[in-house]
Chain A
Amino acid sequence: MDVTVPPDLNAGGMLIRARGLTKRFGGITAVDGVDFDVGHGEAFGFLGPNGAGKSSTMRMIGCVSPPSGGRLDVLGLDPRADGPAIRARLGVVPQRDTLDEELTVRENLLVYGRYFGLPRSVVHERAAELLDFAQLTDRADSLVEPLSGGMKRRLTIARALVNQPDILLLDEPTTGLDPQARHALWDRLFRLKRQGVTLVLTTHYMDEAEQLCDRLVVMDAGRIVAHGSPRELIEEHSTREVLELRFAADDHAPFAEKVADLAARVEVLPDRLLLYTDDGDDASGAVHARGLRPISILVRRSTLEDVFLHLTGRTLVD
C-alpha cells in the first residue's frame, strides 16, 4: 500500500504539542494540565487505567472536543479555529467502532472517502489498496454486521487511512480482541509505522505499549505521572528484576513485613508478593534463609506493568 510521507519537517517540528492542556466536564477535571509533544514518524502512547483522561485527550487532538484550557497545536494549527483543516489530515480509529454495519465493507470505505471530498475514482482506487492492506479483499462485498471483531477493527483502521493521514489516532485499538486478532492488528500497525505514519494510541495493555510505542506517557487521574520510552520508564521507575512469591495464605500482607528489607520495594497483590530488586536470585536465597517457604517463586525482569503498579498504585484489571 502506498502511504504518502510528508517531507521532513524542520528539526524540532512537532506534529502535536500540548502545554497545560485541560479538559473539564462540569465540575470534573478529566485532563488536568498535561504537556506532551509528538514528533513526526513517532509511535506515541497514552497509557493509563480507565478514567485517566486518555480518551478525552485523544478527542481534543481529534478536534471533536474543545479544550477547556491550555494550549494545543496539531499540525501547527489550533483545533479551536481550524478543526476541519486538521481533521482532513488525521486518521481516527475510535474506541467504539463507527462502521455502518448495514453497508458492505467496500461501501464503508467509499462513503468515508467521500467525507474527505476525495474524487470518486481516487476513493475507488484507495479502497482496493486498503482492502488488501486490511486483508479483507475477499470480504469486500459482504455486509459488515457478520464480520468478526478483529475484521471490523482492521476495517476501521483501513477506513482511517483513506485520506492518507499524517497522524493516525488509535483509541484502544485492540481492546476486546482475541490474541490472534490482536497480533494481526499489531502487524498492520508495524507496517504503517515502518512507512513513516505517525501513530498516537491509547491503551491499557502493557504488552501493546511495549510492542508499539517509541515513547509513552503514563496518565493517572487526568495528569501525566511519567514519560519516556518503555525501557527508560522501566529503568527509572522499577528495578532490574522482580521476585514473585506466592504463599499458602489468603492474606499476603503479613509476609510483606518479613521481607521488606530484602528489596527496594515490596508490592502486595491479592495472590502474591512482588519484591523489586536488582538481583532476584539473591533475594530469593535470603527469603529461604529466613525460613519462609513460599509455594511458588518466580524471578523475572521488570516490565511496564511493574512501572504502572508503582505509579498508579493499582493493577490494570479493567
Chain B
Amino acid sequence: MNILSELDTPRPPPAGLMWDRALAYWLTSYRRVWRGSLISGFLSPIFFLVAMGFGLGALVDAGEGVAGVGYVAFIAPGILAAQAMQTAVIESTYPVMGAVKWQRQYHAMLAAPLGPYDIVLGHLAFILMRVALTSTSFLLVAWTLGAIGSPWAALGLPVAALCGMAYAAPVYAFAVRQEVDGGFAMLFRFVILPMFLFSGTFFPVDQLPSWLEPVAWLTPLWHAVDLCRSLALGTATPAAATGHVAYLLLWVVAGLWLAVRSFRRRLVV
C-alpha cells in the first residue's frame, strides 16, 4: 500500500536539486546583516592594498621593482584571490558550526524534505554569492584607487569565485565535524595565514627558499593568485590558465564530496 500515491502528493525532487530551498534560508538571514558584512568584508583587503601597495610599493618601485610593473598593480590581483579565500573560510567555519550546534538550522532543514546534498550545496551557493559580492566590491574600489589598470582584471572575478569554492568546500567538511570552535583558531593561524603570506600574494614565490616553493605550488591560493595576476597583467597563457582552473576544480570537487560525507556522518546518525 502506498499512501503517498493515494493522497496524490507530489514527490520531492531528487537529492541535490532542492539546494535553492536551503539557499533561500541563508538569503533571508543575510538580509538582516548585509550592510555591515559588506563593509567589513572589503575594508581589510583595502587596508592591505593601501598599506602594502602604495606604502611599501613606493620602496619596491624605487628599487628593482617586481615583474616589471608597479607594485600595487602586482599585488591587487593577489589580494583579490586572497580575500576570496578569507571570505570563504570565515563563511564556512563559524556559520557551519552554528547551524549544527547553536542555531541548529541544519536540523530544521533535515526535518523537511531537504537532505545532505541540498543543505551543503545550498550553503555553499550562499558562500559563493558572498565571495562574488566582496570580490566585486574590492575590484571596484581597487579600480577607483588606480590599483588596477587593465579591464582584463575583471576576469579575476570568476577566478576569485572558484578560489573561494576551492577553500569553502574542504573547510566545510572540516567545520561540520567539529565539536568545539578551537580548531578554527588553529586553522586560521597555521593554515590560512601562512597561505596568505607565502602563496605569492605579496611577492613572487620564487623568492621563497627553494624547498618551500613547491609547497606554495600545492596551495589552491597560489594557483588563484597566479591566474588572477596573469589575467590582469595580460601574461596569461592558455596552458597555464587551464592548469590553474583544473587544479582549483579538483579541490572544489574533492571538497564537495568530503563535505557531504562529513555532513552525513555528523547529522544523519
Contacts and interface: CB of A to CB of B under 8 A. Distances in A.
Nearest to B111: A92
Contacts of B7: 6-7, 89, 166
A163 B114 CA distance: 14
B12 A84 contact: yes
A98 B113 contact: no
A10 B113 contact: no
Contacts of A65: 268-269
Contacts of B13: 117
B29 A115 contact: no
B104 A96 contact: yes
Contact of A100 (B9, B105, B269): B105
Given A64-B268, A98-B107, A115-B109, A76 B28 contact: no
Interface string B9-27: 1011101001001101100
Contacts of A76: 1-4
Contact of B111 (A7, A98, A99): A98
Nearest to B25: A111
B12 A117 contact: yes
B269 A98 contact: no
A88 B9 contact: yes
B266 to A, nearest CB: 12
B113 A114 contact: no
A100 B31 CA distance: 14
B110 interface: yes
B115 A84 contact: yes
B35 interface: no
A15 B3 contact: yes
Contacts of A62: 111
B239 interface: no
Interface string B102-146: 011101111111110000000000000000000000000000000
Contacts of A160: 111
A81 to B, nearest CB: 12
A75 B3 contact: yes
Contacts of B105: 98, 100
Contact of B112 (A25, A75, A112): A112
B89 to A, nearest CB: 22
Given A65-B268, A76-B1, A87 B113 contact: yes
B64 interface: no
Interface of A: 6-7, 9-10, 13, 15, 25, 62, 64-66, 75-77, 83-85, 87-90, 92, 94, 96, 98-103, 107, 110-112, 114-117, 160, 163, 166
Task: Enumerate the 4 nearest inter-chain pairs by beta-carbon distance, A residue then B residue, closest first.
Answer: A115-B112, A92-B111, A98-B108, A84-B113
Interface of B: 1-4, 6-7, 9, 11-13, 15, 18, 21-22, 24-25, 28-29, 32, 103-105, 107-115, 267-269
